[in-house]
Structure 1
């Protein structure tokens, strides 16, 4: 059986958790905790970079349908080194290419 499970990856959950902490820290900075003004945005930038690095390492999967064996969060995507079709993150890293249909 094939099903879509967008974002259920180690890269997605790690980036989301760190971004939530960064946003909360920035919010504390706005209401008066001065270190939060700089620490919050730094954590947000770190979340983006960490998510991208994990995706490129195979812990993020391409969008769309996946087989049942590829759906669990702890399953690494072994095709990540070649890049995912239509993936901006992979293209920024110099991997993969656009498909003809997306041009």
Structure 2
């Protein structure tokens, strides 16, 4: 099993569910040739991105990359969300997780999580 466990969060699944409803609305709008249904589906789909982003910023999403196994649970809230996740585009768009330049080019930051002995 991969150590990356990406997308298995409340934010990810909620956004996915809303996007499915929006996609169904877009599909219905195309089949019925209805502009209001098409626009409504597009608005719902765009809303799914905003809902996912807001849930991620409130701690219901997890950062990209390797996480310890005890943080894999979907119902676990991320306590580091307020500071922002390094390398996370959503956090950077919200003004969190500013890039910290390494003093030595190519050096690995001390706060990086080591890989398991399997990898």
1:96 aligned partner: 97
2:53 aligned partner: 52
Show structure 1 runs of 4+ deviating over 6 A: none
1:28 aligned partner: 28
TM-score, normalisation: structure 2: 0.78
Stretches of structure 1 that go unaligned for 5 or more consecutive residues are: none
**d(CA) in 1 for partners of 2:55 and 2:75?**
12
RMSD of the TM alignment (CA)? 1.6
Comparing both structures, which one devotes a greater share of its residues to helix? 1
Q: State the shift of 1:64 in Å.
A: 1.2
**d(CA) in 2 for partners of 1:28 and 1:62?**
35
**d(CA) in 2 for partners of 1:24 and 1:64?**
31
1:72 aligned partner: 73
2:84 aligned partner: 83
Comparing both structures, which one devotes a greater share of its residues to strand? 1
Kept after mapping to 2: 8 A contact 1:86/1:99: no
Aligned residues: 100
Q: State the shift of 1:33 in Å.
A: 6.0
More deviation, 3-12/74-83: 3-12
Larger radius of gyration: 2
Stretches of structure 2 that go unaligned for 5 or more consecutive residues are: 103-119
Q: State the shift of 1:98 in Å.
A: 2.3
